[in-house]
Structure formats: C-alpha cells, structure tokens
C-alpha cells in the first residue's frame, strides 16, 4: 500500500510539474525574452500563419501621424518609455513588457500620411489599477478579446519588410477567413541591441 501511495504521489507531482511548465510556457513564450506578454491560445498553426485567441488586455498608447514608419515608431516608443520610466501620475517605474505593437492604418493615396499607434502592454499586476499618463498625447487603451491571424518573421523589421509579410499573410488566407482590412498590427519582441533570432509578427484582427 505504501508503495502504491508513493507511485500515486510521484505521478501527481509529474502532472503538476508538466501543467505548471505548460502554463509558464504559455504565459511567457520563448520569443517574449522573459518579459510579460499578452496571453493567447493557439487555435491553429500552419506553415504560413498561426490563428490565436487573445483575452482582453490593457495597453498604454500614443498615436503618431506621419508617412515615415521608422521615425513615427521611434517617436512613439520614446514617449511610452518616458511613461514607464516614471512620467506618470504615480511617478512609478513600470516594468517593460513585450511586444511593442504598432497599429498601422494606411493613408489613402501616395501623399497621405499613415496613422501609427504605438503601444506597450500594461503589466498584469497594474492592469486593474494603472498609473495614468501625465503626457496628454499618451492614453490608456483596452484591446478587446479577439482572434488574430498572426504571421511571424525574423530579422530587423522595417516598412518594406512588414508590408511584404502582411501581403504574404493576406495571400495565405482564403475568402472565408475574414478580418478587418482597414488596419493591422506589427509586433516586435526584441530590443535594438539583440542581433540574433529576432522575432516579429504581423496581426490581422478578426
């Protein structure tokens, strides 16, 4: 009987460890680089894209109007980094999260400026009680629960590259896989100092 109880205890411990490990991997996938990331459930994976379901999450955001993706993204990042560095209502330093997402609304016509909204996810412990921005150009935004078609790619991203990846994602979907075509998100998980194994994504929101 004692041996049988020991076997059950070992089996239970094994299940617990595997469950905890699975949750840890789901909470922080390897490409999150050990930072907090939005939770998601992977519903389908193909060679061209992944279909994910995300719960609602809170983000701190700023919108930059400009035709140059690189400068708009840099300006937005700098504003949000000042916010998490203490320029908020609580003068609180806030942990960096991943990814940095950028909602891209393409301008109409070759001379019209694109609309970029750069966002950092609010850490989970602050989602319910978030320090407010003191910069009037920064705002809090709740990304509703949603499903996304996600295409991943490596290397350093730029406008040419993410537009090519977005086009490839659109080409991989069929007529029944509908999504909002008025905008899409880019997502970057690495600091500029990380040279190898960089991870980027394009999100189409269902």
Could you report the per-residue pLDDT of 26-80, keeping only the tens digit for each?
A: 467 999 999 999 999 999 999 999 999 999 999 999 999 876 788 888 999 999 9
Superfamily of domain 41-205: Regulatory factor, effector binding domain (3.20.80.10)
- Residue 167 DSSP one-character state: H
Q: How far apart are CA 75 and CA 81, in angstroms?
A: 10
Q: Which of 120-124, 125-129, 193-197 has the lowest mean pLDDT?
A: 193-197
Contact 179, 173 (CB under 8 A): yes
What gap in Å lies between CA 179 and CA 195, rounded to an integer? Answer: 33
The helix (H) or strand (E) run that includes residue 9 is: helix 2-27
Q: Is the pLDDT of residue 17 over 70?
A: no
Q: Are 37 and 199 in contact (CB under 8 A)?
A: no
CA distance 23 to 18: 9
Distance CA 31, CA 37 (A): 10
pTM for the model: 0.83
DSSP secondary structure letter of residue 155: S
The residue extents of the domains of the chain are 2-32, 41-205
CB within 8 A of 88, min separation 6: which ones? 94, 131, 132, 133, 134
| Mean pLDDT across the chain | 86
Comparing 22 with 148, the larger pLDDT belongs to 148
């Amino acid at each position: 009987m004692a041996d049988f109880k020991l076997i059950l205890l070992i089996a239970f411990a094994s299940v617990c460890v595997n469950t905890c490990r699975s949750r840890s991997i789901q909470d922080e996938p390897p490409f999150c680089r050990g930072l907090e990331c939005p939770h998601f459930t992977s519903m389908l994976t193909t060679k061209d894209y992944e279909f994910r379901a995300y719960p609602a999450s809170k983000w701190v955001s700023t919108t930059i109007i400009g035709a140059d993706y690189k400068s708009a993204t840099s300006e937005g990042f700098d504003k949000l980094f000042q916010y998490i560095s203490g320029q908020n209502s609580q003068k609180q330093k806030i942990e960096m999260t991943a990814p940095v997402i950028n909602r891209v609304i393409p301008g109409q016509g070759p001379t019209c400026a694109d609309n970029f909204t750069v966002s950092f996810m609010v850490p989970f412990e602050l989602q319910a009680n978030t320090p407010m921005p003191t910069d009037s150009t920064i705002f809090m935004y709740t990304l509703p629960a949603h499903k996304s078609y996600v295409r991943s790619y490596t290397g350093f991203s730029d406008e040419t590259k993410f537009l090519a990846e977005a086009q490839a994602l659109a080409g991989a979907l069929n007529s029944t896989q509908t999504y909002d075509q008025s905008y899409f998100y880019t997502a970057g998980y690495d600091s500029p100092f990380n040279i190898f194994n960089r991870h980027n994504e394009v999100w189409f929101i269902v």
